[in-house]
Amino acid sequence: MERLTKKKNMNQQYNTNILQKLKLKYDIKFLEQYKKKGTSIIMATIPPGAGNLDKAIKLCKQKSVNSNNIKDRTNRDSVQQTTQKMVRYLDSINAKEFDNSNGLMLYVGVFGKS
């Protein structure tokens, strides 16, 4: 009986993983329709731990400053807006709660005008 229960739990976990992968593929295809000049999407994966959250904020701020080197004004502005949005969102996360979480995956973007 225990074997059946373990096998059932493994099948449920496997099915959940497949569904999560399919949802991610669907989301990526959905976002691809917004490819236009001035569109900027940043994806970040942050492992759990308050130290990792601080590192991510610092990296986003650095990327925002480095984006001044982008020659095209439209792209430069969209990259700066996207990194600033990400910094604002990461600043709003409680570090103590994040320390006990499973980590974080973010998709932040600014969509260009058609």
Q: What is the pLDDT of residues 47-63, one digit of tens each?
A: 887 788 889 899 999 98
Indicate whether 71 and 26 sit together in one domain: no
User: Is the model's pLDDT at 33 over the cut of 60?
Assistant: yes
Evaluate if pTM is beyond 0.85: no
Indicate whether 52 and 8 sit together in one domain: no
Indicate whether 104 and 69 sit together in one domain: yes
What whole-number distance in Å separates Cα of residue 106 and Cα of residue 41? 10
Domain membership of residue 5 as a residue range: 1-33
Number of H-type helices and E-type strands within the chain:
4, 2
Indicate whether 51 and 87 sit together in one domain: yes
Q: What is the pLDDT of residues 60-109, one digit of tens each?
A: 999 889 989 989 888 888 888 889 999 998 888 887 777 777 888 888 88
What confidence tier does 9 reach under pLDDT thresholds 50, 70, 90?
low
Indicate whether 107 and 52 sit together in one domain: yes
Indicate whether 28 and 48 sit together in one domain: no
User: Is the model's pLDDT at 15 over the cut of 70?
Assistant: no
> How many domains is the chain built from?
2
